[in-house]
Structure 1
Amino acid sequence: MLPWWMKWLLFICSRDGGRTMKTDRTDDRAAPHAVIDCDIHHDTGMGRIKPYLPRAYRELTDAYGNAVPGGDPRDGVADVQTLRQAYLDERPLACGILTGTNYGVQAAPNYEYAVELCRAINTYTVDHWLGEDARLKGSIIIPKQQPVYAAKEIDRMAPHPGMVQVLVSNGAFMPYGNRFYDPIYEACERHGLPLTIHAGMEGVGINNPMTGVGYVTTRAEWIFSRTQVMMAHVASMIFEGVFERFPTLRVVLQEAGVFWIVPYLWRLDQDWRGLRVQTPWVKRFPSEYFREHFRITTQTVELPNNANLQDELLRQIDAERTLMFASNYPYGDEAAQAAIWSNERDSLKRQVMGNTAAELYGI
């Protein structure tokens, strides 16, 4: 049985006079109806990256294990061949963006060690993944706890044509609007790379608790708290003036929900009106900054029971402009994502499933 997104893609192709998506791996440009998956987790655990570490840190891991907060990450996809057989070749995928697994590096207090781990992850990704299949693109993992070194790692990796974004975890020790992070944003703008904030590492290591009242008890609470943290980053970046200082910066929000953004933007606009005197550098409505500078991925999307409400929420977030497909493979919930598109028009699907990401990432 064909997956849901292959069915509608074949339907679109049939309406377009039989035109089909490019599948030649030597040409990774996405056709107008090609699918781009913005979140595929390949395994970047210590077992993969250890050979890329300096000798001193290899000996450290021999003695103490991974030596980063959160322990060893859950396994992602082991290798390119496995990914091809289980996912890439089974779907009309023009491009998949690799997002790794080892985010604990961004919660480590030893930033010298974090620098070397990030270098190892990025070099491993280039050597073992990006050169093996032209459909695959990479994310630059950075030691965000030391922005000067993070910018140097961006400068080192950005010239590789397969690297299409910079990735940081949602968990952080201060909101992302703080000027502390400006060297990272300067480097992103310098190389024309978007910044992706990926859910994870909330309340881990040097990162702040995942809620304003402290740590939670269950995994369910932790997952739901991710939205709170993402909200804080969005407000911080807008009201601290990040997009006035860096007018071409684009930010992707991954795995912290989608439709919460609608009432949240209402509230930001409402409060901005009354508090403008405190933030004179914020020259436009927060919702305007959001629609220009932020993109959202479909995993994990909330599912309204009312189809009309779903349509209105998609309209409110300007989904044709801001929403991008992400499977979270191999962990995602494909059935949940299928439900959100069951009644949607083809033009919106094309934008969400590929065109918006193609524009953002220059694919």
Structure 2
Amino acid sequence: MVQAKIRSIDGDGHVIEDMPRLLEHMAAPYRNWYASGRSGAMIAVPGDGAPRSLGGKFNHGPGNSTESWLKMMHEGDLESAILYPTAGLSSGCLKDPEFAVALCRAYNTWMVEDLLKPEEGLLGVALLPVQDAVEGAAELRRAAQAPGLVGAMLTADGGHLLGHQQFDPIYQAAADLGVPVAIHASGSWSADAHTTANQFPKFVQAHTISHPVGILRQITSMMFEGVFERFPTVRFGFLECGGTWVLWWLDRMDEEYEHRGEEEAPNLTRKPSTFVHEGGNLFFGCEAEERMLGPTLDLIGHDTVMYASDWPHWDGDYPASLHEMQQREDLNESQRHGVLYRAAARFYGLE
């Protein structure tokens, strides 16, 4: 008996930036700023020097071409893959706002012209500069017209807090356009200089904590500052932190809100957990080995948590992770369909 195809979407893959080619799309003088190492115009990753591949032990492939990604999609029989940056994950730490705007615009143009293949399901999101939200909103409106870009990304790491009303122009643009906004973490010492990862002496320690700390900072800021209430139609995603932390953090935010919300969170008029349990517009990534995924899905919904390959990053085990998720016996058919297909289809508007 032939097993029926399990429809699958990769909700969070990555591209390795081809910086020489990307810089060709960058307007002067910013292109020269990067080449000359001008202060304020350097991307933190991979400049932190962390031994990510451990001498090649964890290398998974180039990930910097259309061909390499289409090959990997074919291996896993993916209907679609949505790509995020690698070096760009640390763009929130750039010091020069003008350069950050120019870099994001060049990255988005490079993705559309050189890499994405929307007719074959190879899609991406627009990288937006957190240093200038007005320019970020303008870039989102520009990028949303390009074929293959199906959403926007804001960096979790850096000195910014995404609940601040200065970011409302970006959220308003997303609402007007009907596109999702993903908040994506990074795994770097230097990218997390504003939190705690840079205090650790070994990369294994920094990498363990950097992703969750960045995401928890931002969802807490956005929740208590009322972003999800001000923009109820915008789909927000929180990626590369797993998915089973959500219940614990909702409980914690609920408790704080009950004690102090009336005085210290005036822009939030109901319990944080209701935005997940009743709203349906908050989404999360997950990893195949998360043991508490089933109970989490039962409590927050089968179509809010999506599979992420993380390929070609050193810690992404695709296509093995996809096959593991497809074969998990502790998940029922509805849960597997939600994680592998429906959550990503809903979030990125692919239905």
TM-score (norm 2): 0.84
- Quick check: 1:183 aligned with 2:169? yes
Between the aligned partners of 2:92 and 2:293, the Cα distance in structure 1 is 35
Corresponding residue for residue 192 of structure 1: 178
Deviation at 1:202, TM superposition (A): 6.2
* Residues 172-321 of structure 1 aligned to structure 2 (within 5 Å): 172-200=158-186, 204=190, 208-211=193-196, 215-225=199-209, 226-278=211-263, 279-291=265-277, 292=279, 293-299=281-287, 303-304=290-291, 311-318=294-301, 320-321=302-303
Which one has the largest radius of gyration? 1
Corresponding residue for residue 101 of structure 1: 86
Between the aligned partners of 1:345 and 1:71, the Cα distance in structure 2 is 39
Gaps of 5+ in 1: 1-6, 14-19, 21-32
* Residues 141-160 of structure 1 aligned to structure 2 (within 5 Å): 141-160=127-146
Deviation at 1:182, TM superposition (A): 1.1
Aligned-partner residue type, residue 63 of structure 1: S
| 1:172–1:202 CA contact under 8 A, matched in 2 | no
Query: Percent identity among equivalent residues?
Result: 28
| 2:189–2:206 CA contact under 8 A, matched in 1 | no
Corresponding residue for residue 79 of structure 1: 65
The CA deviation string for residues 114-170 of structure 1, in whole angstroms up to 9 with x for no partner, is: 111111110111111224753111110111111111111111111124211111222
| 2:66–2:116 CA contact under 8 A, matched in 1 | no
Corresponding residue for residue 69 of structure 1: 43
Q: Please point out which of 28, 48, 52 is paired with 2:21.
A: 48
Corresponding residue for residue 343 of structure 1: 330
Between the aligned partners of 2:154 and 2:213, the Cα distance in structure 1 is 17
Corresponding residue for residue 330 of structure 1: 312
Aligned-partner residue type, residue 314 of structure 1: L
Larger mean CA deviation between 145-154 and 264-273 belongs to 264-273
Deviation at 1:177, TM superposition (A): 0.9
Aligned-partner residue type, residue 276 of structure 1: G
Larger mean CA deviation between 42-51 and 73-82 belongs to 73-82
Between the aligned partners of 2:275 and 2:298, the Cα distance in structure 1 is 17
Between the aligned partners of 1:114 and 1:310, the Cα distance in structure 2 is 37
| 1:96–1:136 CA contact under 8 A, matched in 2 | yes
Secondary structure at 2:125 match in 1: strand
Distance 1:56 1:276, change over 3 A: closer
Secondary structure at 1:256 match in 2: coil
| 1:80–1:133 CA contact under 8 A, matched in 2 | no
Corresponding residue for residue 59 of structure 1: 32
Aligned-partner residue type, residue 16 of structure 2: D
TM-score (norm 1): 0.81
| 1:203–1:210 CA contact under 8 A, matched in 2 | no
The CA deviation string for residues 245-289 of structure 1, in whole angstroms up to 9 with x for no partner, is: 111122111111221222221122222222232234322221111
Distance 1:215 1:76, change over 3 A: farther
Distance 1:310 1:105, change over 3 A: closer
| 2:304–2:338 CA contact under 8 A, matched in 1 | no
Corresponding residue for residue 24 of structure 1: none
| 1:41–1:328 CA contact under 8 A, matched in 2 | yes
| 2:294–2:330 CA contact under 8 A, matched in 1 | no
Distance 1:336 1:325, change over 3 A: closer
Q: Stretches of 4+ moved more than 6 A in 1? A: none
| 1:269–1:287 CA contact under 8 A, matched in 2 | yes
Deviation at 1:49, TM superposition (A): 0.2
Aligned-partner residue type, residue 216 of structure 1: F
Deviation at 1:209, TM superposition (A): 2.1
Between the aligned partners of 2:79 and 2:284, the Cα distance in structure 1 is 19
Deviation at 1:45, TM superposition (A): 3.8
Aligned length: 327
Between the aligned partners of 1:354 and 1:310, the Cα distance in structure 2 is 16
Corresponding residue for residue 114 of structure 2: 128
| 2:188–2:207 CA contact under 8 A, matched in 1 | no
| 1:202–1:210 CA contact under 8 A, matched in 2 | no
Corresponding residue for residue 34 of structure 1: 7
Deviation at 1:208, TM superposition (A): 4.9
Secondary structure at 1:196 match in 2: strand
